[in-house]
Amino acid sequence: MSDDLDRGDSQRNEAPLREAPFREAALNKQLVRDMLAALVKNRVGLMHDHWWEDMVWIGPPGIGTMRGLHQFEYDLRASFLHSFPDKQLGESILLAEGEWVAAQGYFHATFARDWLGIPATGRSTRIRYTDFWRVEVRGGIRKLAENRVTIDILHVLEQSGYDMGQVLRYLGARPPESFNE
């Protein structure tokens, strides 16, 4: 009889433990949703509530890594907003497990000013992305600590009128050191 009682108590005590990862994942996804809502307000200075000051943004080649919230806001986001001032969030897939939240989706915006040396087109542009955010809880406060990002820069080039087959053949036909001039 006591074995049955012990198993019953054990199962009752395990239920909150099984629910804890789902609750954490839901809280982490909500943090990312809130951050994305602030991101599409298209103003710098709105990320403080969502990111730790010592955050790291690890971007694709051509953009690089941003260390710290100030560099992320004023070096990365400000230049992006300068080029794409009216960006809006398109559909996105959002998944969470443990301390990680992942999304795949796109922004659409007017390509108003040159970006990464790509001449602005003045046309609507779709910018595909994949993000992996790592959440940290410090002193009971939940914020984003790390972001690993891919941005489909080749697709931006294609929408800007570049023939990607020709671009890749051109790049591939030259040794890397030829681009250091």
Q: Which range marks the domain in which residue 108 is found?
A: 2-180
- What stretches of the chain show up as alpha helix (H) in DSSP? 2-39, 69-71, 78-83, 153-159, 164-172
Instruction: Note the pLDDT tens digit of each residue in 64-97.
Output: 999 999 999 999 999 999 999 999 999 889 999 9
β-pair type (51-58, 141-151):
parallel
pLDDT of residue 166: 94
The Cα–Cα gap between 87 and 78 comes to 13
Give the chain's mean pLDDT. Answer: 90
Q: Residue 28 maps to which CATH number? A: 3.10.450.50
Cβ atoms of residues 108 and 88 within 8 Å: yes
How many domains, the chain?
A: 1
Instruction: Note the pLDDT tens digit of each residue in 106-146.
Output: 999 999 999 999 999 999 999 999 999 999 999 999 999 99
